[in-house]
Amino acid sequence: GAVVSQHPSRVICKSGTSVKIECRSLDFQATTMFWYRQFPKQSLMLMATSNEGSKATYEQGVEKDKFLINHASLTLSTLTVTSAHPEDSSFYICSAMRQGTYEQYFGPGTRLTVT
């Protein structure tokens, strides 16, 4: 149990376009999901916390108008990178916290390349 999926796994887009990444908890409900960003050879950095039915909370330095987060159900959160630029190229990873626990389970990640 505790499987989290992400879609797409890899995306290439042109500068100025928007990209949506989906994160789903497949076999459990998650009132809270998290979005992370990872640059090559570096650790994961938390971008935002996504709570079902309410606005996301963003970490310091993360532009909320650029990284739009929606958590419409107990199994789905989406991250939209708006007006993407080459510096947004990165590995984006989501996690979901199973209801009633504090343990986070991670999706396989989405590799975004902006040309």
Q: Which stretch binds another protein (CB under 8 A): 16-24, 65-73, 77-85, 103-111?
A: 103-111
* Among residues 11, 13, 44, 76, the one that binds another protein under rule CB under 8 A: 44
Buried b (16+ CB within 10 A) or exposed e, 31-63: bbbbbbbeeeeeeeeebbbbebeeebebeeebe
- Give the nearer residue to another protein in terms of CB position, either 63 or 103: 103
Residue 15 beta carbon to another protein: minimum distance, rounded to whole angstroms: 24
Q: Tell me, what amino acid is at 3? A: V
Q: Is 22 in the site for another protein (CB under 8 A)?
A: no
* Among residues 18, 57, 99, 115, the one that binds another protein under rule CB under 8 A: 57
Is the Cβ–Cβ distance between 44 and 65 less than 8 Å? no
Residue in 4, 9, 11, 1 with CA at minimum distance from that of residue 76: 4
| Interacting residues with another protein (CB under 8 A) | 2, 32, 34, 38, 43-46, 49, 57, 91, 93, 95, 97, 102-106, 108-109, 111
